[in-house]
Amino acid sequence: MVFSIVYEQIDDASLPPGYYYAHIPALDLTTHGKGIEGAKTAALDLARLWIEEKRTHGETIPVEAGKPMWPCTPVMCRKEHSAKS
Residue 55 has phi, psi (to 5 degrees) of -65, -40
**pLDDT at residue 84 tops 70:** no
- What are the tens digits of pLDDT across the range 2-15? 788 899 999 998 88
**pLDDT at residue 59 tops 50:** yes
Beta pairing class for 19-24 and 80-81: unpaired
Domain coordinates in residue numbering, the chain = 6-78
Pair 4, 81: CB distance under 8 Å? no
Confidence class of residue 1 from pLDDT cuts 50, 70 and 90?
low
> Which distant-in-sequence residues (6+ apart) come within 8 Å of 50 by Cβ?
27, 29
- What are the tens digits of pLDDT across the range 44-55? 999 999 999 999
